[in-house]
Structure 1
Amino acid sequence: MPTPPGRSLNKLRWLRRSLVGTKRLVYNRVWGMDIHPTATFSLSAKFDKTFPRGIHVGERSYVALEAIVLAHDMTRAKKTHTRIGRHCFIGAGAILLPGVTVGDGSIVAAGAVVTKDVPPASIVAGSPAKVIRSGITVGPYGRLRKEQPAPTA
C-alpha cells in the first residue's frame, strides 16, 4: 500500500534504529559476532550463525537487504573469519563466502558473489565478483563521494 502524499515513514526511523541496535546487541553478546556499534544492516541481512565468532563488521559499514555473510563451508569442513572493513557497503543480495576480507572503503555491488578478498577503496561486482573500479573515495556506510578532478599542470 503506497504512502499517502505528504506522509513519510521517516517518523518511524527511531523504531528501525532500535530494532537494529537490539539485533546487533544479540549478535555481539549472545552469538559472539564482532559488529562495530556504528555499523548498521538491513533487518533481512543474514549473518552466519554456524561460526558466529568469524563474522567481523567494521565501523560505519552497511550490509543491505538480503545480503549473506558466511564464515563456514560445510563441504570442506572449514570455519574461518570473514571481515568487512571500515566504511564499506555490501549491496542487496550479495554473498560473501567464508574467509574473504572486504578492504576499508569498498563497495560490493548488489547480487555479487565475493569469492576472494576485495582490495581497499574498490568496487566489485558480478559472480564471481571482480574489481570494476579502484581508487574510489567513500564516506560513512560506503557512500560514494564525487571524485575530485585531476589537477591540471
Structure 2
Amino acid sequence: MDIHDSVKFSLSAKFDKTNPKGVHVAENTYIAFDVAILTHDFTRGVRRHTRIGRNCFIGARSIILPGVEIGDGSIVAAGSVVVKSVPANSIVAGNPAKVIRENISVGPYGRFLNADEVQQQESLENGFN
C-alpha cells in the first residue's frame, strides 16, 4: 500500500488487502470510519489501482470502487458509492456518487477554507507573502 505518513484514517476504515499494491492515498487526506477502499473485483476478474489525492476528505461508510481516482482537494460525502473518478476540487455524494459542487477550496484533510484563507493560499502559490 502507498499511504502517505500524514494521512489520518479511522481504525475501522477498510483498505483492500487482496490487492494492497493498488491502494494509493496522498498527503493530508482524512478517511472516516467504515470507509471501504477497493482495488479488486473477483466477479469481473479486475485488479486496478485506486487513488485518492492530496487534501481530501472521505466521509463515513463511503465505498470507493476499484480503478477510481479522487482528485486533489475533493470531498466524498458520507455513505457515497464512488463508481467513477472524481475531478479535483469537487464534492460528490450519493449512490452512485455525483458531483454536487465544483471549484471548492479546501485545506489539509479536506477542511473548507474561508475567504481570507483562500486569498492567503493563492498569495503563497503565487510567491507573495
Structure 1 CA distance, aligned partners of 2:96 and 2:112? 22
User: What do you get for the CA RMSD once the two structures are aligned?
Assistant: 0.9
Q: Is the 8 A contact 1:137 1:147 kept in 2?
A: no
Q: Is the 8 A contact 1:68 1:96 kept in 2?
A: yes
Count of residues paired in the alignment: 116
Q: Aligned partner of 1:97: which letter?
A: L
Corresponding residue of 1:55: 23
Equivalent of 2:78 in 110, 113, 117 = 110
Corresponding residue of 2:66: 98
Percent of pairs with identical residues? 64
Higher RCO (CA 8 Å, separation ≥ 6 residues): 2
Corresponding residue of 1:28: none
Corresponding residue of 2:48: 80
Equivalent of 1:68 in 32, 36, 39 = 36
Structure 1 CA distance, aligned partners of 2:107 and 2:5? 17
Matched residue of 2:43: which SS? helix
- The offset of 1:146, in angstroms, is 2.5
- The offset of 1:76, in angstroms, is 0.5
- The offset of 1:147, in angstroms, is 4.8
Aligned structure 1 segments of 4 or more residues deviating by more than 6 angstroms: none
Corresponding residue of 1:143: 111
Structure 1 runs not aligned, ≥5 long? 1-32, 149-153
Structure 2 CA distance, aligned partners of 1:144 and 1:66? 22
TM-score (norm 1): 0.74
- The offset of 1:62, in angstroms, is 0.7
